[in-house]
Amino acid sequence: MTTAPSPHDERLVELSATDLQNRLGEALELYVAAMGYPPGTVEQRAPMWLAHMMREDWRCVAVLDANDALLGICYGYRGAPGQWWHEQVRRGLVSVAGPVAADEWLRDYFELTELHVRPDAQGHGLGGDLLRGLLREVSSARVLLSTPEGPTRAWRLYRRLGFTDVLRHYRFTGDPRPFAVLGRTLPV
């Protein structure tokens, strides 16, 4: 049985693309556990995470425990036209708010792509530490993210940090669940 981390046993670190590549298996296992996905998801997501590392302004931070194991991970990059998520969100925003609103939200933004905390480490403020650590060096005007709809710790974190609704109950291509797109201006 793993016990929850003590605040004195963890440290926030920035990971380079090489660092994350070297820990990709561990990071994806954490992702699968945090999201409750089936184990086969690791193989499906690895190429996507590797491709994300090559995007403009990609940044990654992690929380490590005293044994150097990942407790949480967070990464993102500058969003841009032509990227899958950007085009999906633009389509949704245009349909409910029009092209002007879509262009405003999708101009000069950082996409918070992944933020995950190991289930046994949740509820200790690590998500907030990861998010603030990641966004501290971001020069974009705003940050956007998507998260499944529903009352979760992630929702409470995003609301507590000032994220507001951009698009609600949106269904991304290939995923039947409803998602919310949330955003806020920077800095946090």
Q: 75-123 pLDDT, tens per residue?
A: 999 999 999 999 999 999 999 999 999 999 999 999 999 999 999 999 9
Q: Domain for residue 5, yes or no?
A: no
Which pLDDT value is given to residue 3? 40
Buried (b) or exposed (e) across 153-175, using 16+ Cβ within 10 A?
ebbebbeebebeebbeebebeee
Query: What is the layout of strands, in order, in the sheet containing 59-64?
Result: 11-14, 59-64, 70-78, 109-117, 142-148, 179-185, 164-170
Residue 1 lies in a domain: no
Q: Full-prediction pTM beyond 0.85? A: yes
Residue 51 lies in a domain: yes
Output the domain CATH number for residue 148.
3.40.630.30
> What is the DSSP secondary-structure string of 98-148?
-HHHHHHHTSSEEEEEEEEE-GGGTTSSHHHHHHHHHHTT--SSEEEEEEE
Q: What's the pLDDT at 174?
A: 85
**Which residue out of 31, 75, 77, 158 is catalytically annotated?**
158
Q: Give me the sign of the Cα torsion angle 123, 125, 126, 127.
A: positive
- Give percent of the chain with pLDDT exceeding 70: 96
Q: In this model, does residue 1 exceed pLDDT 80?
A: no
Q: How confident is the model at residue 5 (pLDDT cuts 50, 70, 90)?
A: very low
Residues 6+ apart with CB under 8 A from 75: 15, 20, 52, 58, 59, 60, 61, 113, 114, 134
Q: CA-based Rg of the chain, rounded to a whole angstrom?
A: 16
Q: Does 22 reside within a domain?
A: yes
Residue closest to 156 by CA, chosen among 184, 179, 125, 133: 125
Q: Is residue 110 part of a domain?
A: yes
Local confidence band at 179 (pLDDT 50, 70, 90 cut-offs):
very high
Instruction: With respect to residue 4, please indicate whether it lies within any of the assigned structural domains.
Output: no
User: Is there a domain that residue 94 lies in?
Assistant: yes
* Averaged pLDDT, 39-56: 94
How many structural domains compose the chain?
1
Query: Which residue range forms the structural domain that includes residue 148?
Result: 11-185
Q: Does residue 158 lie within any of the structural domains? A: yes
Active site residue 158: yes
Residue 159 has pLDDT above 50, yes or no: yes
